[in-house]
Structure 1
């Protein structure tokens, strides 16, 4: 019985610790445990949802107030970046494999395997192989960078979902004399 009371007290304090207001009809009922929805927009959740590309941007877009929705347009750019870099990485991998087979065939048999590489000698094929490998590695790093920027963008933009940019916020810079001898500048912030 004491354990039940302690657990009830713990869970009720955890629910009430969230800064959300209960409806009037539930305020006086102490036995009712109401699961209160968390209304805070989480940058961590936006970053985790961005593990599926564009998920964090959609989460941020839905949470923004009506006039400030702007996160949705980034999703096609993310998928275009991932698609292009992924396609080029695969294309360069296939080219590298083809050039490796051509080089190995020339080393074993002493003749040309594919006619499109007939104009190159063995060293030329090896140089093309190295260029294809370098391009493939670069595209893999670009793919990882686009994917990482997707997550970073969702995380950073989640911080600005409830950012107030009303006209009541102001900053002013004015000249000022310090100790009636030293000129200086005064910086004032207004948060009304």
Structure 2
């Protein structure tokens, strides 16, 4: 087909038409150029997709940082970095931790506490408070050495007392002197054991309080301290008025457990002597040898023994319940410490007077009511 055009020979139409005109005749589109153009289009699309994917990854990193409790200034710096340096600026980077399972920077508070319970003094080493090690080790070592020494003196006295009372519980000057020596030795032994345990528990609590490697909320620290020692969580929350109730409750429960246990041991021994006398009276020519001299029957002593044992077990259960309750109290109280009770949390109820246009009357009509507003 011929086309007459008033243009010079070998003129070219706009490049987007991809049509050449030579000598007034339109030629077919160039297939090679069209293929090259399609390749260029595909390459441009791939480039655009890679840029969009990189921007999406950068925006995802920004959103992930925003969902955490990050500082607003830090988020602003992330946004500035996002637009200033391009999508590759927020690429994830691997943190460098100290090597070793026991000295890793990624160790949490719970793990440090448990390891400190197994290895006393580890928390002070982890927190780099080396000057505390001689204090804790000295107190624990001294208390433990004194306890072992006193326990070696207490055991022979206890064996002699039990051997004497297994034959007869009648009060004699020899039995009273032996019991007095045993009680004094047992008191010193318990004091030394208390010093050792107090130093050990305090070292664990100090490791938890001084922990600052990773960000830890007040709630977790308060709960951890309450688990380590009853009342420590209340002290950390500065709820000092609760400490006497917690400590007094535990002291009362421990006293009740000890009192009922002593009663259980007492009537258990008396019941054993009376029951043996009832079964073999020929072995006791002087009559019953229990501390009550046979005034109570074996069934009555058995009932008393069972009552003291039941009360002792009940006190142990109540002590466990009190331990759990004080942990819950420390956990909840730490949450409430951060609860906002400012004036921004308010409810206002105000009268409302408004005018509404009524088409039927062709005028405005007053409307009365209440306006309730909540601020939070």
TM-score range, shorter chain: 0.5 to 0.7
More helix by share: 2
Q: 2:145 matched to 1:94? A: no
1:103–1:190: structure 2 CA closer, same or farther, 3 Å change rule?
Answer: same
> In structure 1, how many angstroms separate the alpha carbons of the residues matched to 2:221 and 2:271?
50
CA distance in 2, matches of 1:20, 1:144: 41
CA distance in 2, matches of 1:103, 1:120: 9
Q: Report the Cα distance in structure 2 between the residues aligned to 1:123 and 1:173, rounded to whole angstroms.
A: 73
Match of 1:50 among 209, 215, 226: 226
Alpha-carbon separation, structure 2, partners of 1:167 and 1:113: 73
Alignment of 1:180-191 (within 5 A): 188-191=373-376
RMSD: 3.6
Q: C-alpha offsets along residues 80-100 of structure 1, whole Å, 9 cap, x if unaligned?
A: 100100111111011111111
Q: Distance in 1 between matches of 2:259 and 2:299?
A: 22
Q: 1:173 to 1:21 in 2, by over 3 A?
A: closer
Tell me which of 79, 83, 99 is aligned to 2:247. Answer: 79
Residue matched to 2:108: none
Q: Does 2:334 correspond to 1:158? A: yes
* CA pair 103-59 structure 1, distance change in 2 beyond 3 A: same
Whole-angstrom CA distance in 2 between matches of 1:36 and 1:136:
44
CA distance in 2, matches of 1:36, 1:127: 58
Asked which structure has the greater RCO (Cα within 8 Å, sep 6+), the reply is 1
Q: 2:318, 2:300 → 1: CA distance? A: 27
Q: Provide the C-alpha distance between the structure 2 equivalents of 1:107 and 1:42, rounded to a whole number of angstroms.
A: 59
**Counterpart in 1 of 2:299?**
123
Aligned equivalents of 1:103 and 1:165: distance in 2? 62
1:20–1:36 Cα contact (<8 Å) kept: no
Residue 45 of structure 1: how far off its partner (Å): 2.1
TM-score (normalised: structure 1): 0.65
Q: Distance in 1 between matches of 2:299 and 2:372?
A: 67
Instruction: Measure the CA separation in 2 of the matches of 1:127 and 1:36.
Output: 58
SS of the residue corresponding to residue 374 of structure 2 reads: strand
- SS for the counterpart of 2:240 is coil
1:133 to 309, 322, 342: 309
Equivalent residues of 1:41, 1:158 under 8 A apart: no
CA contact (8 A) 1:41 1:161 kept: no
Residue 148 of structure 1 is matched in structure 2 by: 324
- Contact 2:270–2:290 (8 Å) recurs in 1: yes
Return the alpha-carbon distance in structure 2 between the equivalents of residues 123 and 188 of structure 1.
73
What's the counterpart of residue 4 of structure 1? none
Moved over 6 A (4+): none
Question: Aligned with 1:154: secondary structure?
Answer: helix
Q: Which has the larger radius of gyration?
A: 2
Q: Extract unaligned runs of 5+ from structure 1.
A: 1-16, 23-32, 62-70, 175-185
Asked if structure 2 preserves the Cα contact closer than 8 Å seen for 1:102 and 1:113, the reply is yes
Show the 5 A alignment for 1:32-43.
38=215, 41-43=217-219
> Which residue pairs with 1:104 in the alignment?
272
